[in-house]
Amino acid sequence: MKIPEPRGPISAGLLAILAGPPGSDPSAHAGLSQLVQDRLPLVEDLIDDDDIQLALFCLYELHYGGLDGVDERWEWNPGLIGIRQLLEEPFEEALRTAAGLAVPAAEAMSTEQPDSDGVAALLFALAAEDSGPSLSRYVAKKASVEQLREFLIHKSIYQLKEADPHTWAIPRLTGRAKAALVEIQADEYGGGLPDRMHSAMFARTMRGLGLDDRYGGYVDTVPALSLASVNMMSLFGLNRRLRGAIAGHLAIYEMTSSRPNQLYGNGFRRHGFEASVTGYFDEHVEADAVHEQIAGRDLAGGLVEAEPGLLADVLFGATAALAIDARFTLRIMDAWESGRSSLRTALPAAA
């Protein structure tokens, strides 16, 4: 991914460190660490803080495709891992506060050893509780072509590496849950066909609207909330202790995907776009209707049957995903209904 523009002192300090080789300036780590500790108490809303979310995004990206021109040895540099942990702890706390429902929902389970059907039922109930504004209905009925382009730009931060954060969980699971996750991910990666990978299909959709389909091409354009939604997945996926959260996140993600993707596809068809553009959404209508059952019962439910103590984290992952998505939807729709762009910077004209 190209090096983004810094959004504050923390991301600026991090990018300055990454510009050199590991070990070139040991004092820089201590300085950045102190800066993080000094700044965190002053941040009112960590989830919506551009500087912190960009810094976390770049730190996580070292574990994915890397950053352009950055020495790959930085990935496991102890100093950077320490800084990442300083940012992760309050980020996780903020997500738990936003989620809110996880502990009460876990306590509501009536059985001491919940079975997989019970876990799935609870997750489906959480998915059904969402009564806020619907971005998918807005896209289907009202969104302009320029708003469709903005929508794709927001989604590109995750969709161009779709499935990768959840894949981190595969070696952390066993038995039924592991097999279920592998089954889902195999479909996400196209069943062995590169052009059927969901990330590749999304790239075709972007090209169809004249957008740059290179991964990370719009990192400078999207707001902190778009980065936070992806950082949440990386936090869950990269920390073994949060394997329950990444399972719950994927389960609720699949359970709330099929119908919205149908509406998204309809919104693009309303403007005359054909299958080369709508194929990504159409694929998810069918695939996610199957995936939601596997993810709810076999992945999340199977994991809780094997490790009952992870129920609260499964619910945390699910409710955090719902909470951030609801917040993201409100932000975009407020901008669009007010006639404003939902992006940080102006969108260039279509190619």
Task: Give domain status of residue 197, yes or no.
Answer: yes
The closest of 135, 136, 106, 139 to 271, measured between CA atoms, is: 139
Instruction: Please check whether residues 81 and 128 belong to one and the same domain.
Output: no
Task: Give domain status of residue 89, yes or no.
Answer: yes
The pLDDT profile of the chain, 351 residues, written as one tens digit per residue, is: 999 999 999 999 999 999 999 977 778 889 999 999 999 999 999 999 999 999 999 999 999 999 999 999 999 999 999 999 999 999 999 999 999 854 555 555 545 667 999 999 999 999 988 666 799 999 999 999 999 999 999 999 999 999 999 999 999 999 999 999 999 999 999 999 999 999 999 999 999 999 999 999 999 999 999 999 999 999 999 999 999 999 999 999 999 988 999 999 999 999 999 999 999 999 998 776 788 999 999 999 999 999 999 999 999 999 999 999 999 999 999 999 999 999 998 776 665
| 125: exposed, middle or buried (Cβ count in 10 Å: 0-12, 13-18, 19+) | exposed
Instruction: Please check whether residues 56 and 124 belong to one and the same domain.
Output: no
Last residue of a domain, one of 43, 76, 99: 99
Task: Give domain status of residue 344, yes or no.
Answer: no
Instruction: Please check whether residues 185 and 44 belong to one and the same domain.
Output: no
Instruction: Please check whether residues 167 and 237 belong to one and the same domain.
Output: yes
Last residue of a domain, one of 43, 65, 99: 99
Instruction: Please check whether residues 123 and 53 belong to one and the same domain.
Output: no
Instruction: Please check whether residues 92 and 197 belong to one and the same domain.
Output: no
Last residue of a domain, one of 57, 74, 99: 99
Domain range holding 50? 9-99
Instruction: Please check whether residues 173 and 228 belong to one and the same domain.
Output: yes
C-alpha separations of 182 from 170, 199, 205 in Å: 7, 17, 26
Instruction: Please check whether residues 241 and 278 belong to one and the same domain.
Output: yes
Instruction: Please check whether residues 293 and 148 belong to one and the same domain.
Output: yes
Instruction: Please check whether residues 114 and 190 belong to one and the same domain.
Output: yes
pTM listed for this prediction:
0.95
CB 230 within 8 A of CB 54: no
For the record, the structure tokens of 25 come out as: 């300036």
